[in-house]
Amino acid sequence: MVTNRLDLIEKKELIPHVYLFQFQVEKKISYTPGQYMVLQIDARIFRSYSIVNLNESEPQNLTLLIDTKIGGPASFFFEKMAIGENVNLIGNPVGKMVIKPTPNAKVFVATGTGLAPFIPMIATALHANPQEKISLLFGSRQHKEDYSEQFFQEFLNEKYPNFHILHCLSRHEGELPQKCHSGRVTQILETQIQHYANTEFYLCGNPAMVEDAKKLLLEKGAGHIHGEKYGN
């Protein structure tokens, strides 16, 4: 079994129990935005995490977005992990949910840390073509739990006129904040998206959400659906 040591150099809590981890990679690796990696938590415990960022310079740094609310040995491990400690990467990054090279508009639908693979996918697409038509639907219960926008600050300006974030709040009370929509991501997906047949849809997050969104999109005639299920 080929392993690669990852040393923790930064740990930032975005909201309670959701962390951004930055590791220094022992042996340089490469990946395609959207792919994930397998980490060895214990002798017989392995978990998969999508890559948020992996720079090309040396020493190489890797960024992961990890939710520890779900409990279990991996959640406990990362909740307690301190700067200077390490974990093993098994093999190389894998996964087939990557940007498709088509001129179609793209819609990304995410809940929780299902956002992780979309961060580099959207950045790559917009760097290649600032005119790319991209919408991100990010679902959370309340506005204070929505940490999505901080990852896309460089794209929220007039240089990228066709990039939009739709913040979907399923349990919000009171007046809606600006740019927010009341309802689950599947509800907003149905009411805010106009064209389905020639749009590329990417789904990632809670398994039930992914299944519901896929069912809705098939009913609407969508022919390009790509998805990953996460346990959080």
36 close to 49: Cβ distance less than 8 angstroms = yes
Instruction: State CA 8 to chain mean position distance.
Output: 20
Map out the domains of the chain with their CATH numbers: 3-94 (2.40.30.10), 105-229 (3.40.50.80)
- Does residue 108 contact residue 135 with C-beta atoms inside 8 Å? yes
Stretches where the chain sits below pLDDT 70 are 230-232
**Alpha-carbon span 111 to 90, nearest angstrom:** 26
pTM score, whole prediction:
0.94
Q: Which residue is listed with tokens 């999109």?
A: 217
User: What pLDDT sits at residue 232?
Assistant: 42
Q: Report the pLDDT value the prediction gives residue 70, as an integer from 0 to 100.
A: 83
* The predicted structure's pLDDT at residue 230: 65
> In this predicted structure, what is the pLDDT of residue 179?
83
Residue 10 is predicted with a pLDDT of: 98
Contacts of 120 (CB under 8 A, 6+ apart): 33, 34, 51, 52, 53, 54
**Tens-digit pLDDT profile for residues 146-177:** 999 999 999 999 999 999 999 999 988 778 88
Phi-psi label, residue 34: left if phi above 0, alpha if psi -120 to 50, beta otherwise: left
What does the pLDDT read at residue 78? Answer: 97
What are the backbone dihedrals phi and psi of residue 45, each rounded to the nearest 5 degrees, phi first?
-120, 120
What average pLDDT is seen over the chain?
93
Q: What angle do CA 116, 224, 103 make, to 5 degrees?
A: 85
The residue among 70, 61, 76, 73 whose CA lies nearest residue 28 is 61
CA 49, CA 113: separation in Å to the nearest integer? 9
pLDDT of residue 14: 97
